[in-house]
A = this chain, B = another copy of it.
Amino acid sequence: MEKRYLFTPGPTPVPPPVLAALAEPVLHHRGPDFRLVYASCLERLRSVFRTEREVLLFTSSGTGLLESAVANLVSPGDRVLAVSAGYFGERWAEIARAYGAEVDELSYPWGEAPSAADLASRLDGHRLVLLTHSETSTGVVADVQALAATAREAGALVAVDAVSSLGAVPLETDGWELDIVVSGSQKALMAPPGVAMVALSERAWAGRGSAPRFYFDWERTREAQAQLDAVFTPATSLVVALDAALGLLLEEGLEGAFERHLRLGRACRAGARAMGLELFSPDDDSASVVTAVRAPEGVDAGELVLTLRDRFGITLAPGQGPLKGRVFRIGHIGWFDVFDITTALAAVELALAEAGADVERGVAVTAALDAFERPLTVA
């Protein structure tokens, strides 16, 4: 009977109407009941991606569609530039190497933000540039618009991992002329994990390569989707749920969702600071997706996360890679309000105090509430 609180940057909490949609009887993927939902879902995805072109939907995790970018575009020996400053950027480079690409890395220490100037100086005839919009492992949201413009100027195709950013922070697929944008159901789109999607420019369609592929082949799925069909049996229940979740998101409005995430980030940072903790993710509005916080002196962040989970049923995310033990991460992507933030902060405060850490008691929650309510124009 212990309550559960899911405050990780994916999977994220799913609203009750979305859970209810999941429990509806299974539909046949070629029947009219499903086609109505499918058409609605694909149309809503175009709104969320802000693209006039089709968005391809696959049954897969987000990583599968990062691989699709490589499998559809890269032939062995193609030169790829991977920009990485954390776990997910590094994974993308690894996928490109698995396909025989000649991969150069513009690699930053975890937690830094990639710069367009650095990118410009490294670009040298690369066919494809791999970018990570929100680096979930560090909380850094990169300036994809500037990075993409730089890569485009150099003639490269631009692929963006927007798995944890889409729907939480602004992203303009067409407006920023992004060639490949990948996202997943289980972050700001407020559905369970299991379906992922990719938006593609005409340049991406024209740039397809010779690597072997079948399930993740874009053309097969595009042809089927054009007939509101699916080439392989899709995860129908998850599509029904995703459609319901996208309806909620678009009812709030994308701009409303962006503002809410911005306020949630401010609230989380203000609360953490108020109790005397040091932030690892940037202490500014760029970090609206996930807040990475340094554990105080003498506290192992991994142990803290386990304590919160096992004593209170509250799931935060630990640090990954070089940040293991040093930071914990509070996700605020998707179906979050300020009381999720205050709950997370209250639990962190309690657990740290019990661990004997030097934290200021009784101030974090109020600081978070204040920051959330403050007009946006006051920083």
A residues contacting B by CB (< 8 A) are 4, 6, 8, 10-14, 19-20, 22-29, 31-33, 59-64, 67, 70-71, 94-95, 98-100, 184, 186, 192-195, 211-217, 232-238, 309-310, 315
Contacts and interface: CB of A to CB of B under 8 A. Distances in A.
Contacts of A29: 11, 193
A70 B4 CA distance: 41
A217 B98 CA distance: 10
Contact of A98 (B19, B22, B99, B214): B214
Contacts of A309: 31-32
Nearest to A230: B61
Contact of A61 (B28, B63, B232, B237): B232
B26 A6 contact: yes
A192 B310 CA distance: 31
Contact of A236 (B11, B32, B67, B235): B11
Nearest to A31: B315
Given A234-B193, A238-B235, A25 B10 contact: no
Contact of A215 (B20, B22, B60, B217): B60
B22 A237 contact: yes
24 contacts: A4-B25, A8-B28, A11-B26, A11-B28, A12-B26, A19-B24, A23-B23, A26-B192, A31-B315, A32-B309, A32-B310, A59-B61, A60-B215, A61-B233, A62-B233, A63-B214, A63-B215, A64-B215, A95-B214, A98-B213, A194-B236, A194-B237, A215-B216, A235-B235
